[in-house]
Amino acid sequence: MNGKLFAYELLFRDHAHGIKLFPTNIRATSQVLLNTLTNININALLGNKGIAFINLDEHVLTSGIVDMLDKERFVLEILETTDLNEKVLSRIQQYHKRGFKIAIDDFDCSAEMIKKFTPILKYIHIIKMDVQVAEKQNLKNVMSKIKQLGIKVLAEKVETEEEYKMYRDMGFDLFQGYYLHKPEIVEMDRYKDATQIIILSLIKLIKDDSEIAQIESYIKQRADLSYKLVKFINNQWKFDNKIESITQVITLLGRDKLLRWLLLYLYAEVSENPISESIMNIAMKRAERMEEDAPQSEKDKAYLSGMFSMLGALFESDIKDVVKDINIHQDITDLIIDKRGKFITSFRKAECTEREYLKHLMFNNFDKIDISMLLYALEISNISIDKDKL
Q: Any alpha helices (H) in 100-240, and if so which ranges?
A: 111-117, 136-148, 161-170, 196-207, 212-219, 223-236
Tens-place pLDDT, residues 206-260 = 766 788 888 887 777 666 677 778 777 777 666 566 777 788 888 888 887 787 7
Q: Count of CB atoms within 10 A of residue 153's CB?
A: 22
Element (H, E) at 156: strand 152-156
Considering the entire predicted model, what is its pTM?
0.57
Cα separation, 174 vs 3, in Å, equals 9
Give the mean model confidence (pLDDT) for residues 296-318: 81
| Helix, strand, or coil (residue 59) | helix
Tens-place pLDDT, residues 27-75 = 566 667 666 666 566 777 778 888 889 888 888 888 777 877 889 989 9
Residues forming beta bridges with residue 174, ordered by sequence position: 154
Long-range contacts at 213-217 (CB < 8 A, ≥ 24 apart):
213/247, 215/250, 215/258, 216/246, 216/247, 216/250
First-to-last C-alpha distance (Å) of the chain: 71
Distance of CA 107 to the CA centre of its chain: 28
The percent of the chain in helix, strand and coil, each rounded to the nearest 5, is 55, 10, 35
Cα separation, 244 vs 230, in Å, equals 10
Eight-state DSSP code of residue 317: S
Look up the CATH number of domain 8-176: 3.20.20.450
Q: Are 164 and 180 in contact (CB under 8 A)?
A: yes
Which stretch of 36-45, 144-153, 212-221, 267-276 has the lowest confidence by average pLDDT? 267-276
Domain segments of the chain: what residues?
8-176, 196-347
Cα separation, 95 vs 101, in Å, equals 8
Cα separation, 134 vs 146, in Å, equals 15
**Orientation of helix 223-236 relative to helix 212-219, angle to 10°:** 110
Cα separation, 343 vs 332, in Å, equals 8
Tens-place pLDDT, residues 120-135 = 999 999 999 988 888 8
Tens-place pLDDT, residues 163-212 = 999 989 998 999 998 888 777 766 555 444 435 556 656 766 776 678 88
